[in-house]
Homo-oligomer: A and B are copies of this chain.
Amino acid sequence: MRALFFDGREARVAERPQPPLAAGEVRVRMALAGICNTDLEITRGYLGFRGVLGHEGVGAVVEGPPAWRGRRVVAEINFACRGCETCARGLARHCPRRRVMGIAGADGAFAEELVVPVENLHAVPDPVGDEAAVFCEPLAAAYEVLEQVRVEPGQRCLVLGDGKLGLLVAQVLDTAGARVLALGRHPEKLAILARRGIETGLADARAETGFELVVEATGSAEGVRRAIAAVRPRGTLVLKSTLAEHPQLDLAPLVIHEVTLVGSRCGPFAPALAALASGAVDVRSLVSDRLPLARADAALRRAAEPGVLKVLVDCG
């Protein structure tokens, strides 16, 4: 089969062997997959992954239990061992022995076929088209904030960063009834939120303070510093993006103001699918480009260009 394979130095479209199917797994014929910043970081050496890239995708089950065959699905990306203490605690997404689709020890979604554990599958409701369903994984990551932090209706929340994740988090907080201010550096990206009635502003023009909840989604050291300055005493700061750099930080304000900082990663698929079905979150406006699998390497380069949001790869 054809797939976007990263050999540790270069990501290129190549012919790969059909992945074998183990017990408890299904084979998915991929329809559409999305490029995430993590994919770009992996091609720069992050996490030392070798294999087929991609962890956001939608497809149809072609081999596996009869109940699943033919169904359109999305799949959670953490393949847990289901046998360790962490899994027993209900934290399968944190299983220390987990493989992660397209990120660690498991081939990913930029391929004609994908093999995943059956327990990772979620059926995609009919009203959710492929171009929406492909956002399920990053939207679930945005919903993770609501799993971790109590958001009161009317609560003032600040979202820093107008990349893909920031735009999704701002909308998710908005659907939860929060009064969101989203700050970024790209008027055309912020306009996606403004059309949903969310307050936006240019980050460099403002020095915000006094927020009960701040979500850092810039992935930059400066964003973290701004976030620390913006949160009010006893407030909460959610770190939503991983930083490749190791920033130098003054932690004293976290102690003096007794701030709670919450690291936040993968999230629940169910509320994400529900939001995609109801249209509560606009993901279509985030699509910058769509290329065929044969040009997936070009799609990666396109996704790395400034100002580009989501680049999709047609796998069918």
Contacts and interface: CB of A to CB of B under 8 A. Distances in A.
Given A94-B233, A94-B234, A233-B91, A250 B258 contact: no
A258 B251 contact: no
A253 B260 CA distance: 16
Interface in A178-236: 224, 232-234
Contacts of A250: 246
A256 B141 CA distance: 12
A246 B251 CA distance: 7
A133 B86 CA distance: 43
A260 B261 contact: yes
Contacts of A260: 148, 260-263
Contacts of A91: 233-234
B256 A242 contact: yes
Q: Pick from A144, A247, A251 the residue with the most CB of B within 10 Å.
A: A251
B224 A251 contact: yes
A171 interface: no
A263 to B, nearest CB: 4
Contact of A263 (B224, B232, B254): B254
Nearest to A46: B252
A265 interface: yes
A241 interface: yes
B246 A249 contact: yes
A46 B252 CA distance: 11
Contact of A86 (B86, B233, B246, B262): B233
A255 interface: yes
Contacts of A240: 255
Contact of A94 (B86, B258, B263): B258
Contacts of A247: 248-249, 251
A240 B256 CA distance: 10
A246 B240 CA distance: 22
B251 A243 contact: yes
Contacts of A255: 239-242, 263-265
Given A242-B252, A246-B249, A257 B224 contact: no
A233 B262 CA distance: 12
A239 B253 CA distance: 11
A286 interface: no
Interface of A: 86, 91, 94, 96, 144, 148, 224, 232-234, 239-243, 246-265
